[in-house]
Amino acid sequence: MAHVTIKGLHKHFGAVHVVKGIDLAIADGEFTVLVGPSGCGKSTLLRTVAGLEQASEGTIEIGGKVVNDTRPRDRDVAMVFQDYALYPHMTVAQNIGFGLRARNFPRPEIETRVKRAAKMLNIDQLLDRLPRQLSGGQRQRVAIGRAIVRNPQIFLFDEPLSNLDAQLRDEMRSEIKRLHQELGATMIYVTHDQIEAMTLADRIVLMNAGQIEQSGTPLELYEKPRTRFVAGFLGSPKINFIKARLENAGIVFADGQTLKLPAVDAQRYAAHAGKPVIFGIRPQHIDRAPMTGSPHIKSTVDLVQPTGARTYVTFTIGGEPVMAELDAHDAGKPGDEIAIALDLAHFLLIAPENGNVLGR
């Protein structure tokens, strides 16, 4: 177990600049999830930590030791690959024990450690099979077994669940989380799936275009995003962004409807009064309002998508589509006139020119 420190890391592939200056400190035993859209450099960052890619610039320390020039085998890391990377010509037991054999462990010890790891993952009855005789979920377990059997300083996961179907993915996600709790090891996990990131991470590092957009606990990123990108990346259904103007009276949408802000907020954003802003609010923070009384916005229901307990309802505010997550019995039907209450304890104002969230 060890902490990892990355300083000023850059990676070029020929003319392509993939990782553009990453500084990151990962504490011992922390579960860090690198998340971001494809091509954001998260996998490259992980592979550089593993030693499969050479850093173009900057340093990587594992356990306080700079490892830039250390071979993967000498870094004492284990990695679980997206395609599992099981050796097809070896049995499950040989696959799991391969790392120990490569390091010349005595045979009896390999055997006991392989058995222990297999038991932990519930694959002890599969040890004599070949990878092609296993299901996707079983292969995934073998790949994880191969990592834990070595008891490495750091575990690296490169989108390990993306080849599984939805149900297995949920199951393996819990498994990995439990594994982290049991082993207490440092884990770095790459995914493009925000749900995996939210559920697994002690800390999320959200990357975009080769740089860290924001890092923090899942709740921090969800509740206090620093940029429009972060707000838009996390949360499902996606947060709504509505073009508007900030006036002294409140938020004025394109169709002239005005949302009066509470005094404390009005004061907080006073410096931006008179400027165009983007009003961001999550579908969960929109509800139906009584047609009279409390402040509300008026619109017409466009589209209704039931999912069970909750129903996604789409309508427009100021000409822009907005989605709300409503109680199934509250949803109405297309064409209905509705009054909408926006929960003003949870909204964001974003500067359109740079995407930064205002007031932070």
Using CB under 8 A as the criterion, which residues of the chain lie in contact with other proteins when the complex forms?
50-52, 71-74, 76-79, 81-83, 85-89, 98-99, 102-103, 146, 150, 156
Distance between CA atoms of residues 237 and 343, nearest Å: 16
48 in Cβ contact with 97 (< 8 Å): no
Place of tokens 């996604």: 312
Closest CB 343 distance from other proteins, rounded Å = 46
Cβ-based nearer residue to other proteins, 82 or 258: 82
Q: In which region does residue 344 sit, left (phi positive, over 0), alpha (psi from -120 to 50) or beta (all else)?
A: alpha
Cβ-based nearer residue to other proteins, 105 or 312: 105
Angle among Cα 232, 83, 203 to the nearest 5 degrees reads: 40
Cβ-based nearer residue to other proteins, 1 or 351: 1
Name the residue among 28, 43, 113, 27 with its Cα closest to residue 81.
Answer: 43
Cβ-based nearer residue to other proteins, 56 or 82: 82
> CA torsion angle for 93, 95, 99, 105 (degrees, to 10)?
30
| Three-state DSSP class for residue 154 | strand
Closest CB 156 distance from other proteins, rounded Å = 8
Closest CB 166 distance from other proteins, rounded Å = 23
String of b and e for 195-231 (b: at least 16 CB within 10 Å)? Answer: ebbbebbebbbbbbebebbbbbebeebbeebbbbbbb
Cβ-based nearer residue to other proteins, 98 or 347: 98
Closest CB 99 distance from other proteins, rounded Å = 4
Distance between CA atoms of residues 134 and 147, nearest Å: 18
**For residue 103, what are the contacts with CB-CB under 8 A and spacing of at least 6?**
73, 150
Closest CB 137 distance from other proteins, rounded Å = 19
Distance between CA atoms of residues 334 and 146, nearest Å: 54
Amino acid, res. 109: E
Closest CB 32 distance from other proteins, rounded Å = 18
Write phi, then psi, for 180 (nearest 5 degrees). -65, -40
Cβ-based nearer residue to other proteins, 155 or 279: 155
Cβ-based nearer residue to other proteins, 156 or 286: 156
Closest CB 12 distance from other proteins, rounded Å = 15
Name the residue among 202, 204, 172 with its Cα closest to residue 191.
Answer: 204
Cβ-based nearer residue to other proteins, 53 or 247: 53
Closest CB 240 distance from other proteins, rounded Å = 39
